Chains A and B, each alone.
Chain A
């Protein structure tokens, strides 16, 4: 394996009663994610991939395919049912993140693993100013000098194209696109090696979404961060990623180079998905 920053192995997440026995009878070949025996929902199962520094991996699929479940398990927003998630930057990959306590998982979010959510209210305190949101992330990492914090926050907001005269305004007064830019600034504040982006432009007006998408594209190229981009939108995946997984009913049904998945999808579901998006 090449150099890697994030590795996911045999990840599974089941909602409801039962363990691995619930998996039988679910998946793409059965056309369902709900266990016929226990009623448990298999959110995702047997998911494996790695992401290298400077690389963006796409995860695409329709609503309910399990892509956001994977993202939330990596982020620590949800417990995994099985599998390992490791960061190269944490004990050189020896520690399964699932074995950490909640406070240890939260600590990772300071400078090891950042998340940009579709809903900015998950990544930001909307009642706090843009600068304050970023300062919160910086102080968690040990920054103490007010001037330095202010300077770094201004630098990040400038890079994410947020007008500096809005730095002290509550994020609740910002447009959707501007909130996503502040989320990006906060996520990148402490230069984490891994960035998770969950539907980062979904719900934005087309022109605003294009601007945010272009900003993410530039930031990924400039920072060298290892990114996982979860989206149902092939335009987002094509713009940001060079490798991609296709998920359906909680499983990876195909993986490959992004241009290959768009031009020569092999799986029947992938072909339907691409055909619906591209004609």
Chain B
């Protein structure tokens, strides 16, 4: 008996949802070591509404950065899927997009700011940010002004704008990377520890900039090892332990009932 092929259903998302992670698994097979497999994410679910900020919380190694990298397709995922609603309304499965389409989506709508304090080599801070603006669709004639406004907003000393990145401190590189990620506000911003290398004044500055992004329409998924930042920025918190979601809800609810969470995060 032959059976007709069952067409794959079009991915759908509930209204007002920009991102849905469903049963996501991620493992790492270490061919170059001994062939063993290390579990990263184990059946993670996550919903992000439009114009909302979801913070991922948990100890180092819980899978927070891995989840961001899976959404950004820096990591190859296993089972499960990630659905994303484009600005035009179309819902796409990021886990199934071909590489070219994903690269284009990154350029146009999805910003990712890595936790690593490294910027594009041999390119000035101003150039890095201006070129990011052009890639995100800004008019080249306006990109330099946009870059200047963003660098100024993130408190980067103007004397450093045209120097090589080797002259920047870790905190300055962190803010240059953030500037490149937000110079044209992405529809979805993935932020991995954006204040980890910052002094209190610059940390405050970045928190205000991120808050303003969601106020202006961006959705954010973040990792902060900073409970105060989570309290001030996040609408919802998802707690990961060992690659699994162990708690999620509104920020106040999760932080109120997660008695150990503060203790776990604060020393970091």
Contacts and interface: CB of A to CB of B under 8 A. Distances in A.
Contact of A210 (B28, B99, B122): B122
Given A2-B100, A210-B122, A243-B100, A272 B76 contact: no
A222 B227 CA distance: 43
* Most A CB within 10 A of own CB, among B31, B32, B76, B100: B100
A255 B75 CA distance: 13
A259 B74 contact: yes
A104 interface: no
B49 interface: no
A243 B103 contact: yes
Given A214-B122, A264-B28, A268-B31, A2 B74 contact: no
Interface string B8-44: 0000000000000000000011111000000000000
Given A55-B103, A260-B74, A271 B31 contact: yes
B160 to A, nearest CB: 19
B89 interface: no
Query: Interface size bucket, B side?
Result: 20 to 34
A113 B122 CA distance: 29
Contact of A263 (B74, B99, B134): B74
A20 interface: no
A90 interface: no
B102 A257 contact: yes
Contacts of A46: none
B144 interface: no
Contact of A268 (B32, B74, B101, B104): B32
Contacts of B101: 2
A223 to B, nearest CB: 13
Given A2-B101, A268-B32, A257 B122 contact: no
A78 interface: no
Interface residues of A, number: 24
A257 B99 contact: yes
Interface in A224-279: 239, 242-243, 255-257, 259-260, 263-264, 266-268, 271-272, 275
Nearest to B101: A2
A88 to B, nearest CB: 14
A275 B28 contact: no
Mostly helix, strand, loop or mixed at chain A's interface? mixed
A242 B107 CA distance: 11
Contacts of B121: 210, 239
Interface in B31-75: 31-32, 69, 73-75
Contacts of B31: 267-268, 271-272
Contact of A256 (B30, B99, B123, B131): B99
A7 to B, nearest CB: 12
Contact of A243 (B75, B76, B99, B123): B99
A268 B69 CA distance: 21
Contacts of A243: 99-100, 103
Given A2-B101, A260-B74, A275 B32 contact: yes
B103 A242 contact: yes
A52 B31 CA distance: 33
Contact of B32 (A50, A221, A242, A271): A271
Q: Could you say which of A1, A2, A52, A259 has the most chain B C-beta atoms within 10 Å of its C-beta?
A: A259
Contacts of A210: 121-122
Contacts of A242: 103
Contacts of B73: 257, 260
B75 A264 contact: yes
Contacts of B76: 256, 260, 264, 266
A255 B76 CA distance: 11
Interface string B98-130: 011111100000000000000001110000000
Nearest to B127: A218
Contacts of A50: 100
Interface in A191-241: 210, 214, 221, 239
Given A221-B134, A260-B74, 4 more contacts: A263-B75, A266-B29, A271-B31, A272-B31
Which 9 residue pairs spanning A and B have beta carbons closest together? Answer: A268-B31, A271-B32, A264-B75, A242-B103, A271-B31, A243-B99, A275-B32, A259-B74, A2-B100
Interface of B: 28-32, 69, 73-76, 99-104, 121-123, 131, 134
21 contacts: A210-B121, A242-B103, A243-B99, A255-B99, A256-B99, A257-B73, A257-B74, A257-B99, A257-B103, A260-B74, A260-B76, A263-B69, A263-B74, A264-B28, A264-B69, A264-B74, A266-B29, A268-B31, A271-B30, A272-B31, A272-B32
